[in-house]
Each structure stands twice: as structure tokens, then as C-alpha cells.
Amino acid sequence: MRARLDCVECIVRQARRTAELCTPDPALRLAIVKETMRRLCADPFDRSPAEHSLAAYAAAAELSGVSDPFRESKAEQNATALAMYPRLRARAAGSPDPLRTAAKLAIAGNVVDLGVGLAFDLNEEIAKVLDGVLAVDHFARFEEELAAARTLLFLCDNCGEIVFDRIFIEAMRARFPELRVFAAVKGAPIINDATLEDAAAVGLAEAAEVVSTGCACIGAPRGAIAPRLAELLDSCDLVIAKGQGNFETAGDPPRPMYFLLKAKCPCVAEELGVRFGDVVFMRRPAPEA
Amino acid sequence: MRARLDCVECIVRQARRTAELCTPDPALRLAIVKETMRRLCADPFDRSPAEHSLAAYAAAAELSGVSDPFRESKAEQNATALAMYPRLRARAAGSPDPLRTAAKLAIAGNVVDLGVGLAFDLNEEIAKVLDGVLAVDHFARFEEELAAARTLLFLCDNCGEIVFDRIFIEAMRARFPELRVFAAVKGAPIINDATLEDAAAVGLAEAAEVVSTGCACIGAPRGAIAPRLAELLDSCDLVIAKGQGNFETAGDPPRPMYFLLKAKCPCVAEELGVRFGDVVFMRRPAPEA
């Protein structure tokens, strides 16, 4: 999706919040916000929100020298989710429809904020997603396509969330043992997105062949990703994309893609045709009725 | 008050919203937002939010050629409020404490959005302010000081709201017929602030001596206002300032000032020491206990 005019103010806010994480110095914080605005001014602003918002994170890293301000919070997110892994995995496996439950868990992983939650609240939030309605629910079609697929590319999103993704991938492979799954994580730290290091920390390689996007981008924009990931995007029978960043940068993919996410911003919600805050399991292109 | 880092993203949002009012052309809207950011980048950003936000309105006016995008909505606000004038004035005059009721009406004028309300909702909103609690209530001290005052400067805020201000000024002069009241409106159109034209449209001159700030600023910043207004600020026994803009630009006045407003932004609320959305009748400096 293409960035909208509203995205500018949102990116400036992201710059401010990242600056606040990177430094206590008010002058440096202001300099980071200004540098972000300078970069936005110099840009035709015709790409996805995810791509344009990199201006904020790059400005913060370059001016403050802090290249990974979310490092501690990411480690916490992974640890919190890992602690829940055995119980959640058993819950999916023991449910009447293990694949669907695992799919909804993967969506729950995108919904909950593992950086701030108490265990009690997290469980409640996860239960809400499991018991709740998907605003768009193309799972039945997914199940059919998965049965026919030999290869699947899974575009991961955040730390912590990748533990939930692992459970979903394991459920797919339990059902279809011949399925080959590639799980893509970021090539270098960006916000709280999962990297190879995080994939290793949560044992993602036990469920899938882990690959890197080859860049520190949000999502997987065609112009920036490594050739290997582009190949997988072109050749895998199915692609699952988690979170807003992967949706924003998907473009017009040659293969059917399934987007699993919570619409955390009004612009993405509008683009998806759902309400702000809705959760979806959405196929693009939409399945024929 | 000095602008905070959060104000930057808010000013960018104001630029976007004003651009949307000024032109349907997406490229021109983007140009307005970018020009606003360029001006913010070139500024030390050490003045009040009200002063910095002028960048957005100036960029929109200069690039689009639309110097008064709120013209129609202002006329509507004045007309809506004028239609309520006889009834509201009678309500204040007939209440057990006409001066206090009129003061709360003046605050209600800052709370309600006269550009969008239906008569029914407006009456309900006004009733809510009249029956509601002031988060800071220095009215008793105001009444004492007013009894001793010979001159009062009233810094007006928005169109429509000035009708409510007129009722308050009339109530003060009904109680203290010797009181000389000056009512300041903007020297040229800025957002939906009242100008000399609006003062004339609502008959403000029947209640007070109308003066101009001499500039198209938000609030009344010392560095920008006409010498005549600066003189009044220095010489009047009391000053009443309506709305956030007048609060933000007040600086450290030599005379006691009373701020009548709703805290419509979290930064102003924090500066006032109240919660977002609270309404206040606040003396600065605070009265001795």
C-alpha cells in the first residue's frame, strides 16, 4: 500500500518515541525528529508507510549512535513468549481443530504486546483472540490451498510473536509432514522485529528453514530484500505474512498471500476494508465466492 | 509555555488538516505538509506551541492561496451562537449568581464546537459545563479582584465563543457599571479565531471596547502584538484570557491573569496541572491559600 498524507505525522511521532528511547538529551531528541522531517521532505513519498518510516529509525540510530534501542524489550518479549510455549502448543494440539487454533494463536501473537503485559493479562488477551471473531476469515480456503502446497514462505514480524508463529508452523507440519516451510526474519535490527538472533533464541529453526530478508527494512519491500527471499516469494506455493509491515510492503505478489494481523492503524484498516482494531486472516487476492 | 517535542507531530497534523481544507490536490497537500516541516526544521523550536503552529497555517495559505480556509465555518459558528444569545443571556441574568453563571457560559463557549453541533447537542453540552465542576476554580478570588478593578482586558479566542464572552462581559458590567472592558480579537484571520469582522458580526462592541491584537497570531505573543495591546496588557487591572492559544503565549505577565479554557491537548493539561479534557477558571499566579 502507498503511504497516505496521515502517515507523515505518524512517522514524526515514531521519530519522537524512538528518540525518547535512544537518549535523555532534549536537544538530541529534537535533532532526531528534525532529521526525520528533513528526510521526509527530500522524498517523493510514494512508497509504503513501512518504507517511509525507516527515516525515523535511521535518523535516531545515526544521530544517537543507538542502533538497537529495542534490544532489551525484544529479549523480554522472546522470554515471555517462550515461557508460554509449552502450554500454548499443548492447547492448540489438544483442541478440536489444532490447525485453526494454532492459526489464531499466531494472530494473537500479533495482537498482544509481549513487552508490557503481565502473564495474567496476556492469557486473557490471548483467550480473547482465540474466542473472538476474525473480521475477515479466509481460513477454510487456506486449509484447502495448504493441502495442495509443497512449499510455504512465512514472513515473520515481531519478537515474542515468532514463538506463536513457531506453534502455527509446527501445526501445519504436523498435519502436512511433506510441507517445506521457510520462515523469514529481518536481516538486522529494526524496531522490535525478529532477526536471526531472535529466531535462534526461540528455536524457530526446529520448525522451519530460517532465512533472512537481508535488510533492516520493516516488512519485505521488493526493492530492498535479498535475492534469496525474492526467489522464495516468487516460487513458494503459499505465502503467509504477519503484521502490518509485511502487508504494507507486499505490493502485487505473483502468488496468493495470507495476511494475519491486527489493524493497528486507521490507514491499514481502511486499506484492508475492516475497522481499526480488527483482526484478520485475509487472502489476497480475495478468494472467489 | 514552551513547545514540547510532542508538539511537532501535532503541528504536522494541523498542517495536514488545513491542507485538506485548502485544496483537493494530493500533491499540493503533501507540499503544504512538507513546507511546514521545512519551517519547523529551520526553527530553534523554543517558543510556544501556538507560535510554532503558525508554520502550518502560513504554509497552507502561501502554497494554496487560500488565506482564510475557515471563513464559512466561522460565519456558521457566529450565527449558531448568536441564535442562542437571547436565551443564554436571560438564563445567566435570571440565575441565583448571574456573574458566575455567565463566567461558566464563557467557558462553555470554549468547550462546545459550534461548527459541528446540532442545537440539541449544543444545549446539552452547555448544560454539562454549567452543571459540571471546574477542575480549578478561582472564581471567588476573581470576584474580589473584579470589585476593585477599574479596567479589564479580555483576550478573546474563537468565533461563536465570542458571543458567550459578550454575555460574560455584559454580566460583569451589569454588576460593576464603572468597569472599563477592552476585548481583543485577532488582527487577521487565523484558524477559526475571532477577528474585528467577527466582533462586528456578533455586536461585541455593545459590551466592550474592541481592540485588535494587530497580528494573525494564535494567542497574543508579546513579540508579535500591536503596541496598543501590549500597553493594555501592562496597564489593565485584570486580564481574562480565553482558550489554549492565549494561555500558551501568556509568558510571565506583570498583572494577574485568569485563564478560562478547556484543556484540549495533553501538553496544555500537564502545564495547567489538570487532566486532559478538564475545564478551568484559573488565576496565574495562583492565589495565596
**pLDDT tens figures, A92-133:** 999 999 999 999 999 999 998 776 667 778 888 899 999 999
CB contact under 8 A, B34 and A19: no
The whole-angstrom separation of Cα A31 and Cα B156 is: 35
Grid cell for residue B155: 483576550
Interchain CB distance below 8 Å, B12 and A16: no
Q: Any residues with CB less than 8 A from the CB of A133 and at least 6 apart, and which? A: none
As beta bridge partners, residue B240 has B154, B258
Whether the per-residue pLDDT at B261 is higher than 90: the answer is: yes
Q: Greater confidence, B110 or B289? A: B110
User: Is B128 within 8 Å of chain A by CB?
Assistant: no
In which band, very low, low, confident or very high, does the pLDDT at B112 lie, cut at 50, 70 and 90? confident
C-alpha cell at B234: 501592562
pLDDT tops 90 at residue B97: yes
- CB contacts of B8 in chain A (<8 Å) are 12, 16, 33, 37
Cα distances from B140 to residues B144, B145, B173, in angstroms, run 7, 9, 17
pLDDT band at B236 (very low <50, low <70, confident <90, very high): very high
Averaged pLDDT for residues B5-34: 97
Whether A37 contacts chain B with CB within 8 A: yes
The reply to whether residue A12 touches residue B8, judged by beta carbons under 8 angstroms, is: yes
Q: Are B5 and A33 inside 8 Å of each other by CB?
A: yes
Mean pLDDT (whole number) for A161-190? 98
Question: Is the Cβ pair A8, B12 closer than 8 Å?
Answer: yes
Q: Which of A5, A16, A26 sits opposite B6 (nearest CB)?
A: A16
Rounded to whole angstroms, the Cα distance separating A102 from B207 reads 71
Contacts of B34 in chain A (CB under 8 A): 40-41
Chain A residues touching residue B32 (CB < 8 angstroms): none
Q: Where are the domains of chain A?
A: 5-64, 72-284
Cα R_g (chain A), whole angstroms: 18
- B residues 190-249 lying closer than 8 A (beta carbon) to A: none
Beta-carbon separation of B37 and A41 below 8 A: yes
Name the β-bridge partners of B184: B155, B211
User: Considering only CA atoms, which of B272, B277, B247 is closest in space to residue B259?
Assistant: B247
pLDDT of residue A122: 87
Q: What is the model's pLDDT at position A255?
A: 83
Domain A72-284 in CATH 3.40.50.10880: yes
pLDDT at B110: 93
Q: Determine the number of helices (DSSP H) and then strands (DSSP E) in chain A.
A: 12, 7
Calculate how close chain B gets to A269, using CA atoms only, in Å.
19
Report pLDDT digits (tens) over A188-220: 999 999 999 999 999 999 999 999 999 999 999
Mean pLDDT across B160-174: 98
Compare all CA atoms of chain A with the CA of B28 and give the residue at the minimum distance: A5
What's the whole-number mean pLDDT along residues B114-135?
A: 85
DSSP B195: B
Report the gap between the CA of A37 and the closest CA in chain B (Å): 6
Question: B113: pLDDT confidence band, cut at 50, 70 and 90?
Answer: confident
Q: Is B109 exposed, middle or buried (0-12, 13-18, 19+ CB in 10 A)?
A: buried
The number of residues making up chain A comes to 289
Is pLDDT at A230 greater than 80 in this prediction? Answer: yes
Q: What is the pLDDT of residue B58?
A: 97
- Chain B residues near residue A16 by CB distance under 8 angstroms: 5-6, 8-9
Q: What contacts A107, CB < 8 A, 6 or more positions away?
A: A129, A134, A260, A261, A262, A279, A280, A281
Is pLDDT of A166 > 90?
A: yes
Average pLDDT over residues A19-36: 98
E runs forming strands in chain A: 136-137, 151-155, 180-185, 209-212, 238-242, 257-262, 279-284
In angstroms, the CA B289 to CA B287 distance is: 6
Cβ count near B70 (within 10 Å): 21
Cβ pair A196, A224 in contact under 8 A = no
C-alpha cell at B59: 504554509
Task: Say if B46 is an interface residue toward chain A (CB within 8 Å).
Answer: no
What are the C-alpha distances in Å from A212 to residues A61, A148, B57? 21, 26, 45
Q: What ipTM was estimated for this complex?
A: 0.92
A63 touches chain B (CB under 8 A): no
- Give the pLDDT of residue A115: 67
pTM for the model: 0.94
Ramachandran area for residue A220 (φ above 0: left; ψ -120 to 50: alpha; else beta): beta
pLDDT at A116: 64
Q: Do A5 and B33 count as a contact with CB atoms less than 8 A apart? A: yes
**Whether B37 contacts chain A with CB within 8 A:** yes
Cα dihedral B189, B192, B196, B197 sign: positive
Q: Is A252 on the interface with B (CB under 8 A)?
A: no
A34 interface with B at CB cutoff 8 Å: yes
Report percent pLDDT > 90 for chain A.
Answer: 92
Edge-to-edge order in the sheet of strand B151-155? B136-137, B279-284, B257-262, B238-242, B151-155, B180-185, B209-212
Does B188 score more than 70 pLDDT?
A: yes
B199-B247-A14 Cα angle (round to 5) = 115
Gap between the terminal Cα atoms of chain A: 24
CB contact under 8 A, A12 and B12: yes
pLDDT > 70? residue B39: yes
Rounded to 10 degrees, what is the CA torsion of B216, B220, B221, B223?
A: 70
Q: Which 3 state secondary structure label does DSSP give B145?
A: helix
Estimate to the nearest angstrom the gap between the alpha carbon of A93 and the chain centroid.
24
Cβ of B30 and A5 within 8 Å? yes
| Nearest Cα to Cα of residue A161 among A221, A110, A216 | A110
Q: Picking from A144-158, A173-187, B252-266, which range would have the lowest pLDDT averaged per residue?
A: B252-266
